[in-house]
Amino acid sequence: MNTNTRSESSTLDTAAASHTEVAATRLKELHAMRQALPNFVIPADAGATRRLNFVASLSPEFVTMTTVVARKAESMGVGGPDVARMRERMDFADAYGPVAEEFEAIGQLLRHSIAAARNEAGSAALIVYEVTKRLSKLPDTAELAPHVADMQRLLGIRARNMRAKAAAKRKAEANAAPSTAGAPEGTQVTKPQQ
């Protein structure tokens, strides 16, 4: 390994460590933000949100109307739900709805950014693979052949080619097999000799 390659490797290691550290910092910030959100509820199971959504999707006008009726019932001495709590819950939902949408948008954009980064790195890797594959066929750089084989194994190329060949062989055998259609049951069909 020459000095230039060693320096590039060190720079890449530093960049990777930097990305890891920055990502860890962002995760801590998100966890702190989660702690700062009022009324944050963690679902008890995978279906909990789905079960809440039917009633949660009632129109705000309906909920407001029921608070008016509940306040009237309260003034008549009839017990009912806590109207102030109902209003506070609706205010929370109205205020934090856009926050949730922004988090989702950021999540989608971050997933896209991750896919773009993987695509860029993968594209560069495929270029290296193609160049290495061609170089391995030259006498001066034939020592690259084992690396090509390793890369093909990791790409699943050899296994895919072997499956394709096996499928083609089975298809050819099936086409070559004589048809038993129309033969009485229990009759053996033999292949004509040529």
Tell whether the model's pLDDT for residue 59 goes beyond 70.
yes
pLDDT in tens, 90-128: 999 999 999 999 999 999 999 999 999 999 999 999 999
From 138, 135, 139, 159, select the one nearest 148 (Cα to Cα): 135
The rounded mean pLDDT for the chain is 84
Do 90 and 68 contact (CB within 8 A), yes or no? no
Main-chain dihedrals φ then ψ at residue 92, nearest 5 degrees: -60, -50
In whole angstroms, what is the distance from residue 46 CA to residue 142 CA? 55
pLDDT the model gives residue 184: 56
Query: Tokens at residue 95, please?
Result: 């205020």
In whole angstroms, what is the distance from residue 141 CA to residue 148 CA? 12
Tell whether the model's pLDDT for residue 40 goes beyond 70.
yes
pLDDT the model gives residue 81: 84
Lowest mean pLDDT among 28-37, 67-76, 81-90, 125-134: 67-76
Do 86 and 70 contact (CB within 8 A), yes or no? yes
Summarize the confidence of residues 76-88 as an average pLDDT: 85
What is the DSSP secondary structure assignment for residue 191, as one 8-state letter?
A: P
Cα angle 11-133-121, degrees, rounded to a multiple of 5: 35
Tell whether the model's pLDDT for residue 161 goes beyond 70.
yes
Tell whether the model's pLDDT for residue 149 goes beyond 70.
yes
Tell whether the model's pLDDT for residue 137 goes beyond 90.
yes
